């Protein structure tokens, strides 16, 4: 299992990759940041890893 994150390009808030995978599209949770972040913003290798190992990253 890997820790996969994405950093908002606007405010530098770090978002967990599994949250992005679950929501697919979300507004950045950073204070006063309205940047829209998408699962597709993750690096290709990270997206492929999530898809192959989805059961390890499910939020219950």
| Of 1 and 28, the one with more pLDDT | 28
User: Rounded to whole angstroms, how far apart are CA atoms 7 and 53?
Assistant: 22
Domain that holds residue 34: 5-57
Cα separation, 20 vs 41, whole angstroms: 9
Report yes or no: 45 and 5 within 8 Å, Cβ to Cβ. no
The first and second tokens of residue 54, run together, are 């989805």
Instruction: Report pLDDT digits (tens) over 2-59.
Output: 899 999 999 999 999 889 988 999 999 999 999 999 999 999 999 999 889 878 766 6
Number of domains composing the chain: 1
User: For residue 60, is pLDDT > 90?
Assistant: no
Residue appearing with tokens 């820790």: 3
């Amino acid at each position: 299992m890997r820790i996969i994150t994405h950093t908002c390009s606007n405010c530098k808030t770090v978002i967990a990759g599994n949250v992005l995978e679950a929501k697919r599209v979300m507004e950045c949770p950073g204070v006063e940041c309205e940047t829209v972040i998408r699962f597709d913003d993750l690096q290709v290798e990270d997206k492929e890893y999530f898809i192959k190992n989805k059961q390890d990253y499910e939020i219950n």
